[in-house]
Amino acid sequence: MATRTVNGREYTKADFENRLRYLNDAQELAKLLNELKAPYIYSDFRGKQLSFFADTNNIRRRCKTFRLRKKHGGYREITAPKGRLHDVLHILNIVLQTYDEPTPWAYGFVCGRSVVDNARPHVGKRYILNLDLKNFFPTITRRQVADCLMAEPFGFSSLAAELVSGLATVRTDNGEEVLAQGFATSPTLSNFICREMDKEIAGVAAAQGVTFTRYADDLTFSSDADILRPQGELAQQIKTIVERYGFILNEAKTHLQRRGRRQEVTGLMVTEKVNVSRRYVCEIRSLLYIWERYGYEDACQAAWKSYKLQHGKTKGHQNHVPLNKVLGGKLNYMKMVRGADDPLYQRFVSRYTSLQQTNKREIKEVEYKAYMGKYLSKSVKDRVTRTTVLSNDNTSSRQLGTTSNNPYDPRKKNKRILNFILMVIILVAIILIKLFLKSRL
C-alpha cells in the first residue's frame, strides 16, 4: 500500500477512502486538504474556493499558459496553476498518490522507479520498438478522469470525482476539458487512466514473448524474434488498443532498433548494459577540462553555449550557466545510471570535487557578476542602457540623486535586501498572530 509522509505523519489510502467515498460537500474536501497543508500556507482552503477553481471557465483566475522550445524543434505548451490553485493541486496530488498502485509495466511518475528501471528489461534484446503517444496529457479528458475516480478501486462519490476532475483539468480554446501539462496532478491521474490499457497491451505482448514497458507516453517493446516491425501484426494490435482508449500514436516517433546499432530506451543506451550515451560522457569530460585549463568563468560561458544548443532556450541564464551546479546534476545522473562504484564516475567526481575546493572564491565572484548582470547579452544591455539615459546629457543620474532603471544596479541592492527582510517580518508576524488567536479559542 502506498504511503506518503506529510508534516511528519504517514498517510495511506485508508485515511482518505471513506471520506472521499461519501463526500457530499465541497467544504468537506477543503477540510481534508487543510489537514495536509504545509505550515507556511497560513490561510485555510474554503469549499466555495474549491468550487470556483473546479469551474474550468474561470481560465484567467486559475492558470497561465506559456510555451517552451523543445530540444529537437517545435514548442511545448505549459499550463501553470496560479496562486492558491497551485497549493491545492500539490496537496491533492498527495491524496491521489496514496491510491496509486502502479502496474508492473508503468515506470514514469511512479515513486521508487526511474528511467533506469524502465530501460533495464530491454538490455541485450535483438529488436527494440519505440512508440510514442501523441499529445499525451491533453488527450485525457475530464470525463475520463471523473469516470475513473468513481470506479473501483477508487470509489469516489460523484461530487468528489467532479471536484477533483475539475480542479485537475483546463479548458482548451475549442472548449474541451483536458489534463494540463504543468499541473501537479496530471502525472498521477494519467497513470490511473492508463492502468487497463497497460494490462491489455502487456497481455498481447506476453502472448508473443515480447517485453513491454511504459514510461509516461513512451511505449517500448523488445524481443529476440523479428516480430516488431512498425507495420507488422503486433504493432497494428497495439495501435488498435491505444486508439480504443482515446490515444493516438505519433508515427514520426516510431522507431525500430536492431542489434549491431545503437539501441536507446528513454535516453539511455541498452546495447549491452544500461548506460549513458558516449556524447553525455564526452560533454562532462570536456567541461571539466575547460574548467581545469581556462578557469571557472570561461567554462561557465562554454557550458552556456552547449546548453543553448541542446535546449534552444537560455531564459534566466544570461550568457552563462552556473557550471558547478550543472556538473553536479550531470554527475548525479551518471551515478544513478552507472552506479556509485563505477570507475569512470569516481574519476569524474574526484576531479569535480577538487575543482570545487580550489575555486571557491572564483565561483562566488562569478555568481556575484551574474547577479549584477555582467553576463547579459548585448541586446539586453543596450535595452537597459537606453532606459537609464536621461534627457539632460550633462547630468548623470548619480548627480541628480536618483537611481537608474537597471534592475542590476548595485545602488538598488540594499533596497532589495531591506524589502526582502520586511516581507519576511510581515509574514512571521501574520503567522504568530494567527497562532495566538487559535490558542485563545
Query: What are the boundaries of each domain within the chain?
Result: 1-99+138-180, 109-134+189-267, 278-372
Q: CA-CA-CA-CA torsion for 152, 157, 159, 165, nearest 10 degrees?
A: -20
H-assigned helices in 182-322? 186-193, 195-207, 233-244, 278-294, 296-311
Whether the link from the prior residue into 153 is cis, omega within 30° of 0, is: yes
Backbone conformation region of residue 401, classed left if phi is above 0, alpha if psi is from -120 to 50, else beta: left
- Written as tens digits, the pLDDT of the chain (441 aa) is 688 888 888 999 999 999 999 999 999 999 999 999 888 887 899 999 999 999 999 888 899 988 877 766 678 889 999 989 999 999 999 999 999 989 999 999 998 899 999 999 999 999 999 999 999 999 999 999 999 999 998 999 999 999 999 999 999 989 999 999 999 999 999 999 999 999 999 999 999 999 999 999 999 999 999 999 999 999 999 999 999 999 999 999 999 999 988 899 999 999 999 999 999 999 999 999 999 998 998 888 888 777 766 655 555 556 678 889 989 999 999 999 999 999 999 999 999 999 999 999 998 888 888 777 776 555 444 544 444 444 444 444 444 344 445 444 445 666 778 888 999 999 999 989 888 888 876
Distance of CA 143 to the CA centre of its chain: 25
pTM: 0.80
344 Cβ contact partners less than 8 Å away, ≥ 6 residues apart: 281, 338
Question: What is the secondary structure of 350-395 as a DSSP string?
Answer: HHHHHHHHHTHHHHHHHHHHHHTTTT--HHHHHHHHHHH--S-TTS
Are the beta carbons of 63 and 81 closer than 8 angstroms?
A: yes
Q: Out of 3.30.70.600, 3.30.930.10, 3.30.70.270, 3.40.50.620, which CATH number does the structure's domain 109-134+189-267 have?
A: 3.30.70.270
* One-letter identity of residue 356: Q
Phi, psi of 37 (to 5 degrees): -70, 150
